[in-house]
Structure 1
Amino acid sequence: MSSTYASTTITSNTNTELTPIHWTAIGLAAITGVIHLSLYVTDDWLPFLFAGVGFLGAIALFVVLPRHRRPLYVAGMLFTASQIVGYLLFPMGPLWLGVLDKAVQIALIVVLGYLFVVETRHTSASRLSAEVTRRGPA
């Protein structure tokens, strides 16, 4: 069964194909990951290293574990939101870089939320369709 959204097609929850919206999430995570790693190099503050590695590691998991993307979306939204809260509590680095990074992170949360909702709906519709097919017409 296939479902179309945002000019892309997802054929199943276990599909390994990356759509443009998936690549958008990957790009946003890569940008914020690189920003955090560069801040670690310049400011030598360990949480920057952890954040950068966290974002880049999440990209690797996203690509390697396509069956588990929905939990990664939720974890990614929570992790990214914690980065925003952390910045509000402990602003570090140049202001322009912080604003840029937070804008990227807000966009990442929106994209991950969108992917979670759409893929959850698609999975629910697929399960319903399979159940109807198994039981036969009413």
Structure 2
Amino acid sequence: MTHTDTGVDTESLTPLHWIGVLAATVTGTAHVVLGIQFGGTFMILFLFATLGFGAGVTAIVTGYHRRAVYALGIPFTAGQIVMWWVLNPVPPIPPSHAVDKVAQAVLIAVLAVLLYRES
């Protein structure tokens, strides 16, 4: 594993890793935007989710315990989907929420494949 002087390990990242990073960034960004829109307690919960996705991206990019991040990221992300489903009247699914849920589904799939590959 080769690290740059910033601690980033891009050489070992595959295109699949980058898809996961993009999906986590999309859902993290969506949580910031929606958290600000909803405010109050939801803002705190949404910002917590954003921090979780950001920590996961940071760990993956720096090569920090990737396998554990994959394993923890799956239920963390799935929990976001379940909580959203419980707290929202669906259907219809607003487009902004749909983008977030698609990103989360992609992220779960990517994490599952990466976890399988490294087992």
The two structures have a TM-score, normalised by structure 1, of 0.70
Alignment of 1:1-138 (within 5 A): 17-44=12-39, 45=42, 46-64=44-62, 66=63, 68-91=65-88, 95-120=94-119
Distance between the aligned counterparts of 1:74 and 1:107, measured in 2? Answer: 15
Deviation at 1:67, TM superposition (A): 5.2
Distance between the aligned counterparts of 1:108 and 1:67, measured in 2? Answer: 18
- After the TM superposition, which parts of structure 1 deviate over 4 Å for at least 4 consecutive aligned residues? none
Distance between the aligned counterparts of 1:62 and 1:68, measured in 2? Answer: 8
Ranges in structure 1 where 5+ consecutive residues have no aligned partner: 1-13, 121-138
Distance between the aligned counterparts of 2:27 and 2:68, measured in 1? Answer: 20
The two structures have a TM-score, normalised by structure 2, of 0.80
Kept in 2: contact 1:73–1:112 (CA 8 A)? yes
- Counting strand residues as a fraction of each chain, which structure ranks higher? 1
Ranges in structure 2 where 5+ consecutive residues have no aligned partner: 1-8
RMSD: 2.0
The structure that has the greater radius of gyration is: 1
Flag the structure with more relative contact order, 1 or 2, with Cα contacts below 8 A and sequence separation at least 6: 2
* Counterpart AA for 2:110: V
